[in-house]
Amino acid sequence: MLLTLDHVTVAFGGLVAVSDVSFSVSEHEVLGLVGPNGAGKTTLFNAISGLVRPSKGKMTFCGHDLTGIPIHKRARIGIGRAFQVPQPMHELTVRENLIVAQHFGTGHSNPGKIDEILDLTRLGHKANRDAASSLALTEQKALEVGKALATNPRMLMLDEVLAGLETNGKRAFMQTLDDARQRFGVALLMVEHDIETISNTCQRVLVLNFGKLIADGSPEEVFRNPEVIRSYTGGETA
Amino acid sequence: MMKYLSLIIILAGAYLAVPLQFGGNDYVIGIVVSALTIAGIAVAWAMLGNLGGMISFGHSAFFGVGAYGSALLAMNAGLPVFPSILAGGVIAGVVSILTMPTLRLRGPYFALAMLAFAEIFRILAIEMRWLTNGSGGLLSIPRLPTVFGFDFGSRLGGYFVVLTLVLLTVFVYWLIRNRPEGLALRAMHDSEDATLVVGVNATRLKAAVLVVSAFLTGIMGAFNAHYINFLEPDYAFNGSWTTLAIVAAIFGGYKTLWGPVAGALIVYLVDQFVFKAIMPSGHQLILGGLLAAIVIFSPSGLLPWLASRFRKEAGDAAHP
């Protein structure tokens, strides 16, 4: 198992954002995480990448107990994260962004791999010129994935990376992710609102609602689950 | 190519033309040495400001500690002057570790905490009479030596030493800036989460750059001690070592490599040779006005403004 969550709860004061969630991700798996707004998806991501600390439960990644591992060391053990709102290192060029990610995420430099990532994300022509802050949204999203890939992740967490893209853009982006998976053998854990994309790409889907995991299975069974349908249509869940 | 050519011209000018033209005039050389001393602090200050986003109001502490450290080592331990200048820098670097709790603070809070630290060191220098002779100061600090018949203790000798120190400071800054660590530091202050999730240990890098900046500032202080051969707390820990460096760095462009040097030279030389002649007292007022003007017209400083003008003209010439 790559990642295992065992009864993880994240509470902010009295507000329980993630409640008693358990699941695991295996190597090379493509796993979707869905749920209505406010269901706790991003909080769960933040807990795994170390931005927030769970109040209860245990997380392990590749045999490491994540509890004592500070955020900056999680990249080293193979957790890659792409944010919902792209977080480029604004002042640096695309290539410099990747150099920093590679140097600190892996501990060594490998210019060949950086060229490979530039090629994969189709950012080669912009690599050395302007600051990352001047990139268009699509390019910033591609860079977000590129930076994560530069840290040699074993699992890539993608937080709504497709949001704001039009249909062709989405298709091209999914192609990039698929290439990345094939070439670098990473597992994908993706939060996405677009049910169609999730159904087409993910082998397994998790559904969160009010912080609780209400379904875990193949897209077909999950999207037929009455509780999942209710959570999306806003009906009574009790 | 253009870059290397202009660098060679500037170096030739600095090492040959200035001494040939003004070498005999101790007054002019003395003022240039002061300008370069401020340039060195300005580069070290800008390094901390640009790499890591830490605006320090307390660099006079490192300047003073470097000065006192080197002077005392040379006077009491009989260390030769050049090694003791280096040791002064090391002492300032070590002392900066004491200020590290301030790294937990951000923006103005960091700046103010550093200001308080500088004040603490000034008071320590006054109170620790057994070591520093208090406000009586240190007299007859060993001067820079004569090497191969050339007297580095002369005004002109001091000029060559401080010029070399400033160039080395810029070189160190350049080395760090281009390493992945420097890139991460540049990115850190406005993209903190982005650097964290790719594995950057922000605290450790900030601490490291603070030590380097303190070391380089301490070197300038140590040089100054042996150049003027006299120290007292209110001089060595004077807040103007910080403020002049900040004015110089912001005026020249604190995000550029050479901006702080250009800023220090322009601001200090124009102040001493022009404004002081027009307005013998209170001439610093004009500096304040100049700084306000540059912040309004080109917030990133003089050098970036000149560079964009130059690029524009080159562009116009290429496409008439």
List, as one string, the DSSP characters of B252-277: H-TTSSSHHHHHHHHHHHHIIIIIHH
Name the pLDDT band for A237 (thresholds 50, 70, 90).
very low
ipTM: 0.83
Work out the mean pLDDT of chain A and round it to a whole number. Answer: 90
CATH of domain A3-187+213-233: 3.40.50.300
In angstroms, rounded to a whole number, what is the distance separating the alpha carbons of residues A204 and B76?
74
Name the pLDDT band for A238 (thresholds 50, 70, 90).
very low
For residue B29, how many other CB atoms are within 10 A of its CB? 20
Chain A environment of B194 (Cβ under 8 Å): 83, 87-89, 147
Q: For the residues A19-24, what does the mean pLDDT come to?
A: 94
Q: Does B178 touch chain A (CB under 8 A)?
A: no
**Pairing mode, if any, of strands A187-191 and A204-209?**
unpaired
Burial B77-90 (b: 16+ CB within 10 A, else e): eebebbebbbbbbb
Question: Percentage of residues in chain A with pLDDT exceeding 70?
Answer: 98
Taking each helix axis from N to C end, the angle separating B302-318 and B240-252, rounded to the nearest 10 degrees, works out to 10
Q: Which of A50, A90, A100 sits opposite B184 (nearest CB)?
A: A100
What's this model's pTM, rounded to 2 decimal places?
A: 0.86
In angstroms, rounded to a whole number, what is the distance separating the alpha carbons of residues B117 and A87?
35
Tell which wins on pLDDT, B82 or A68: B82
Q: Does B187 touch chain A (CB under 8 A)?
A: yes
Q: For the residues A131-144, what does the mean pLDDT come to?
A: 90
pLDDT of residue A151: 94
For residue B103, how many other CB atoms are within 10 A of its CB? 17
How far, CA to CA in Å, does A101 sit from each of A75, A144, B49, B174?
9, 11, 22, 20
Name the pLDDT band for A65 (thresholds 50, 70, 90).
very high
In angstroms, rounded to a whole number, what is the distance separating the alpha carbons of residues A9 and A56?
5
pLDDT of residue A188: 94
Domain definitions of chain A by residue range: 3-187+213-233
Regions of chain B short of the pLDDT cut 70 = 1, 315-320
- Lowest-confidence range among A15-24, A199-208, B55-64, B282-291? B282-291
Cβ pair B193:A92 closer than 8 A? no
Q: For the residues A24-29, what does the mean pLDDT come to?
A: 93
Chain centroid to Cα B84, Å, comes to 19
- What CATH number matches the domain at B29-318, 3.40.50, 1.10.3470, 3.30.1490, 1.10.1740? 1.10.3470
In angstroms, rounded to a whole number, what is the distance separating the alpha carbons of residues B131 and B133?
6
pLDDT of residue B316: 63
Q: Does B100 touch chain A (CB under 8 A)?
A: no
Given a cut of 60, whether residue A202 has pLDDT beyond it is: yes
In angstroms, rounded to a whole number, what is the distance separating the alpha carbons of residues B186 and B242?
22
DSSP-assigned states of every residue in A24-78: EE-TT-EEEEE-STTSSHHHHHHHHHTSS--SEEEEEETTEEGGG--HHHHTTTT
* B273, B233 Cβ separation under 8 angstroms: no
In angstroms, rounded to a whole number, what is the distance separating the alpha carbons of residues A98 and A103?
8
